[in-house]
Amino acid sequence: MSADAAVVAAGPAVGIREWRKYAIFFFMAVGQFMALLDIQIVVASLSSIQAGLSASQDEIDWLQTAYLMAEIVMIPLSAYLAQALSTRWVFVASAGLFTFTSLLCGAAWDLPSMIGFRAVQGFVGGAMIPLAFATGFAFFDGAQAAAATAVLGVMSTLAPTLGPAIGGWITDALGWRWLFFINIAPGLVVALSLIALGRYERAEPRLLARIDWLHLASLAASLGGLVFVLEEGPRRQWLEDRQVAAMAWIALVAGVVFFERCFYSPRPLVRIAPFRQHGFAAASLLSFVIGFGIYTSTYLTPVFLGRVRDFTSLDIGGTVFVSGVFMTLSAGPAAWLATRLDLRLLLAIGLLLNAVSLWMMSAMGPQWGFWELFWPQAVRGVAILFSMVPVVGIALKDMPDDDLLDASGFNNLTRNLGGAVGIAVVTTWLTEFARQHGAEIVQAIGRGGDALGGLTALGSRIGAAGAGSDRVAAMAAETVSGEVAAQALTLAFDDVFRLSAWIFVACLLVLPFCRGGPMTQGPRRPLGH
């Protein structure tokens, strides 16, 4: 047996030079960042894309929905494909096809073609997310594994945070088609570099002939349907809309079939073996909540700045960039502490910091801007890494070799589902709370109460300045109405942040059920079989 063949048979962590491991991990981290960035990069440019493709507002929202639906289906499926084809070749194919579909998205000629290309782009790119995490734990142990987790944690949270700002800048400078064309160069570099770095594991291509197609169909229908319901539900009054209700039933029935196949299929596409390990279910629940917090706070702050403060995309990007800076600064300390503290203790610190950040945001006023949001965002940036590193470590650090890929897929799936559920929930909360606060403020003004006496006085002054002028009277009414709406929406944001903070506090009750201990040095793990 040749030296290379011996390395492949032994597994990726055995016999590979350190520089090769770091290079492979680096290019996988870049690929993961690309896949995550493209979720949010179109947000600030939807109006430009809508005009360019002559689409309606409801239609253009499918650019994100299609991408998310397809991506979340691939995440759990990637473990099976990696076992059949090897992690390296699945990642190469994912990066290459992601690059090609990015080219197609940039060249799209109408809305149906764009939605189709975005769905394929999300599906093929979704494999890069869990495989990067699994590779980090396969290649490294102890302090190196903690550092790898911190790097990927920064990538996972920085990409959606900066996506809207980067997208807005690219659209202003180059046009919306370059939102997709910018993926071509880095995508090719990632794919070609991983090919050049050589193989490090063996594959089992015979698994492709044993695919459980019913399991695959139920996986796609259940997760795709669930994401559709979560994305479209808040805009369509949930189950009152026939299409949302139909997709909810499809997701429910397909979910039952999916779990039946997980237990009884002779070769399930998604293995639930990781849940037999002590503490993995608890870690998955915490990963779900952390996803809830990360994605909702990332979503809510730009929405507040855009709807209440009328900030531009670049202004929003400059404001939310604070959390990214502190995220990056906290990566080193989080990784260092993960090798010295019980991960449950570090996670408790992270959960409490998340709660503190959200509680600070719950005092938000309608005039809050960069400096008022600085410290809440700084605390949130630290909290994210102090949560991500330990929860991934708890989930994966003691996972048996054969279950590592599946465990990584589940860990990423629960975090992304937490984000999807969270955005749907807080959007619904925001609408309902804003309606309630608006009604209360109007009643207070009608009673002549002190709640918003300033608004009444403002309307009176404007009306007096143009007595006898219908136009000025209308301006007065519009000004008061706008102030009422802004105040009601701000109070709604405060309520949502406060509720979210209590959710993180409640998660402390789950920690005793997690596996403890720090990320210590252990045996190398083979990744592929």
- Gap between the Cα atoms of 9 and 200, Å rounded: 8
Position 177 scores a pLDDT of 92
CA distances from 216 to 16, 114, 228, 235 (A): 34, 25, 18, 29
Position 7 scores a pLDDT of 39
- Radius of gyration, CA atoms only, the chain: 24
CATH number among 1.20.1560.10, 1.20.1250.20, 3.30.420.40, 2.60.40.10, domain 1-209: 1.20.1250.20
Whether 279-529 and 1-209 are alike in CATH topology: the answer is yes
- Gap between the Cα atoms of 17 and 14, Å rounded: 9
How confident is the model over 287-322, as pLDDT tens digits?
999 888 888 887 788 888 888 888 876 777 778 888
Position 249 scores a pLDDT of 95
| Sites in the chain below the pLDDT cut of 50 | 1-11, 449-453, 455, 458, 467, 522-529
Position 448 scores a pLDDT of 57
CB-based contacts of 436, cutoff 8 Å, min separation 6: 492
Token pair for 356? 């503190």
For the domain spanning 279-529, the CATH number is 1.20.1250.20
Indicate the domain borders of the chain: 1-209, 212-268, 279-529
Token pair for 221? 């229908």
Position 374 scores a pLDDT of 94
For residues 395 and 516, is the Cβ–Cβ distance under 8 A?
no
